[in-house]
Homo-oligomer: A and B are copies of this chain.
């Protein structure tokens, strides 16, 4: 019941497994290797260790899955990461493109005390600057309304940006310069096979599909 102490590497594995599980359902060694920027052979090795300590289950050629304990730990790391991102943005004037990298390093290193302190300071937020949900202190994912990519909306529809699922710095920079950030109300002014034309505060912007696919919105009722 008492937590094993994990290496940063191990935490990263659990975190990535969690995110891939959430995204694809099943997680192959390959995918993991790609996300962690590591060779498949290395993944085999590490997964073996994580299976040993029962943080992960592995059915060869089928995929990897977190155990309950593994998921808990992944959520802790994710909580650290997302709280940090919000904290850096809100309290240290980081820009959208800068927060990820810094949080990536800090997440493994801050104490429970630090976590609690910034959570408190920010009044226990539920979403980070990208719109990603922040697991609560007891590691539940906050309820989030159904979202769809802007690219899926009909021309004319109104909605609110709720999540931006890219960490490409150039894209993030460009979006924030255009004020296309989380919680912004937008209208789809037009669309074709190559992308979407958005209207925001009298301004119009064209977003190619490659970007529009990763901007998720809540539709106005």
Contact = CB atoms under 8 A, between A and B. Distances in A.
Interface in A59-88: 88
Interface residues of A, number: 18
Interface in A105-140: 105-106, 109-111, 113-114, 117-118, 121
A57 interface: no
A159 to B, nearest CB: 33
A102 B111 contact: yes
Contacts of A111: 101-102, 105
A100 B117 CA distance: 16
Nearest to A101: B111
A98 interface: yes
Contact of A106 (B91, B101, B110): B110
Contacts of A106: 106, 109-110
B93 A117 contact: yes
